[in-house]
Amino acid sequence: MRASVRIWVMAAAVVMSVIPGQGIMAAGTADMLVDAAGKGDLAKVKTLVGQGVDVNSSSVETGLTPLIAAVSSGRVDVVKYLLDNGADVHAPTNRGLTALMAAALSPRMKEIDKLLLEKGAADQALLDAAERDDLEAIRALLDAGVNVNASEKSTGQTALVVAAYYGNGEAVKLLLSRGAKVDAKTARGFTALMAAVLDENNTETVRILLEHGANVNAQNASGKTALQLAMFMNEIAQDLPRGNPGGDSSMITLLKKYGAK
């Protein structure tokens, strides 16, 4: 079993111990909906939603949502109904488990994955995988048809920008090899290169981006280039222990080598 799937399965297994329909008594309307979804009682789910119970309500104790309960139990009809009625595919439990993660343990994983991907769960999952440097998850999502250049709605961040910011060089290389736009900008005009230079430890990631043609002199919405951002961060670092007083960082040297002005 792949490492990333093992992690998802382990996380889902923890939640399975508290999934309604697995021996836990429901209390209150929210728990009643979660319980019905976990049991696959579509008629009761429809009744509760029709009575005004929030489709995104969750267990106070675990944060389990009706959608995650239905996904984990392989209740495809309930999953589809909840999604069609506004269930949030990104909502996590108190332990951080999302519906897409829970689908890894579902007895009807392929069918449920398809429903979740159609509702946009995959875009956020790709960004999350890029943050974790989870290469197997990135490959699986891209193989399933997720847009490598999909961006987070409010910030405009792409998976490449996220991977670059966290210095996840292998994820950066994988995303670029699958068609990620090296100079795609966020809502504030930041490219992956600009994101990478914000951490002086990301020199190798910066090198990868430059070798793949990143525009070293691109400007963000404030008119700042990667070099200017790196110089600012270097000034801050000089005031910290183990700083580099009076000299350029390796990051700045690398940027200048590639023509930064």
Q: What is the CATH number of the domain that holds 250?
A: 1.25.40.20
- For residue 5, give Cα distances in angstroms to 2, 11, 22, 109, 249: 5, 10, 23, 12, 39
* Residue 54 to residue 34: CA distance in whole angstroms: 11
pLDDT at 9 > cutoff 60: no
DSSP state of 23: S
**Tell me, what's the pLDDT at 156?**
94
pLDDT at 23 over 60: no
In a domain, 171, yes or no: yes
Residue-level pLDDT at 237: 72
136/9 Cα distance (integer angstroms) = 14
Q: Which of 86, 53, 197 is nearest to 205 (CA)?
A: 197
Condensed to tens digits (0 to 9), the pLDDT of residues 94-152 reads 887 778 777 766 667 778 777 877 766 667 778 888 988 988 878 877 887 788 999 98
Report whether pLDDT(206) > 60: yes
24 vs 63: which has the higher pLDDT: 63
Q: How confident is the model at residue 244 (pLDDT cuts 50, 70, 90)?
A: low
User: Which of 163 and 22 is assigned the larger pLDDT?
Assistant: 163
Q: Quick check: 37 and 72 in contact, CB under 8 A? A: no
Is the confidence at residue 175, as pLDDT, over 50?
Answer: yes
Tell me the per-residue pLDDT of 220-231, one tens digit each, with 9 for 90 and over: 999 999 999 999
Highest mean pLDDT among 26-40, 43-57, 99-113, 238-252: 43-57
Residue 188 lies in a domain: yes
- Give the residue numbers spanning the domain of 216: 141-261
The angle, 0 to 180 degrees and rounded to 10, between the axes of the packed helices 203-211 and 169-177 is 20
Q: Say what the pTM is.
A: 0.64
68 occurs within a structural domain = yes
Tens of pLDDT along 53-91?
Answer: 999 999 888 899 999 999 988 899 999 999 999 998 878
Tell me what pLDDT residue 16 has.
Answer: 43
Structural tokens at position 214: 């990143």
Q: Within 10 A of 182 (CB to CB), how many other CB atoms are there?
A: 19
- pLDDT value of residue 166: 96
**pLDDT band at residue 248 using 50, 70 and 90 as cut-offs:** low
Q: Cα 235 to the chain's mean position, in Å?
A: 32
Tell me, yes or no, whether 145 and 242 share the same domain: yes
pLDDT at 201: 92
| Residue 222 neighbours by CB distance under 10 Å | 10
Looking at the structure, do residues 107 and 161 belong to the same domain, yes or no? no
Distances (CA, A) of 57 to 25, 99, 189: 16, 14, 36
Count of structural domains within the chain: 2
Q: Which residues of 57-74 are buried (b: 16+ CB within 10 A; e: fewer)?
A: bbbeebbbbbbbbbbbbb
Closest-CA residue to 69 (of 47, 87, 48): 87
Residue 124 in domain:
no
115 and 192 share one domain: no
